[in-house]
Amino acid sequence: MAILNILHYPDERLHKVARPVEIVDDEIRRLVEDMAETMYDAPGIGLAATQVNVHLRVIVIDTSEERNGLCAFINPRIISANGQVLSEEGCLSVPGIYESVDRAEHIVVEALDQDGQPFQIEATGLLANCIQHEIDHLDGKVFVEKLSRLKQSRILNKLKKNHRKTM
């Protein structure tokens, strides 16, 4: 197991589009384990492979209070989306920034599990928000890019200031 380095916005590599996993093998299962360890250590409720500079369609999520409900989604695909909600989000790649973004309220997602078996889940609430946030990462999109240009430039300034303070 290993804790992986998380890329920070505005790193260009966060804009790469991840490619589908062809075979769910031991290498992918190891990636899932390392991503889970990285997510729990951060701590966060989700992590996309893009954030650890691996450009494959793999995400891990645990929205449980007890931190014992790990879900891995390989090649996740939203097959239906309904309703609309404003969801307050944060991102491990954009530390200290919390903003509301538009999301579908109810989604059905199809993916492969760690054995390469297809499964479907229905999600609402935090889990639905998190899955959409993670799939956006796989498509090279960071949540702040859904905000107004004014908000984005304020966020970039704040991140620059924070970066200077930690140097």
Q: Smaller CB distance to Ni ion: residue 9 or 24?
A: 9
Q: By CB under 6 A, what part of segment 21-50 binds ligand GNR?
A: 44-48
Chain residue at closest Cβ approach to ligand GNR: 44
Spatial distance between the Cα atoms of 84 and 46, rounded to a whole number of angstroms: 21
Q: By the 8 A CB rule, do 142 and 54 touch?
A: no
The closest alpha carbon to 41, from 50, 29, 33, belongs to: 33
Query: Which residue in 109, 133, 155, 159 binds ligand GNR (CB under 6 A)?
Result: 133
Spatial distance between the Cα atoms of 151 and 142, rounded to a whole number of angstroms: 14
Contact set with Ni ion (CB under 5 A): 91
Q: What is the sign of the dihedral through the CA atoms of 140, 118, 41 and 27?
A: negative
Please state the closest distance from residue 67 (CB atom) to ligand GNR, in A. Answer: 12
Query: Which residue in 91, 97, 111, 127 binds ligand GNR (CB under 6 A)?
Result: 91
Is the bond leading into 76 cis (omega within 30 degrees of zero)? Answer: no
Please state the closest distance from residue 139 (CB atom) to ligand GNR, in A. Answer: 12
The closest alpha carbon to 127, from 67, 81, 61, 72, belongs to: 61
159 binds ligand GNR (CB under 6 A): no
Please state the closest distance from residue 167 (CB atom) to ligand GNR, in A. Answer: 23
Residue 134 is among the residues annotated as catalytic for this protein: yes
Which positions are catalytic?
Answer: 134
Footprint on this chain of ligand GNR (rule: CB under 6 A): 44-48, 51, 89-93, 129-130, 133-134, 137
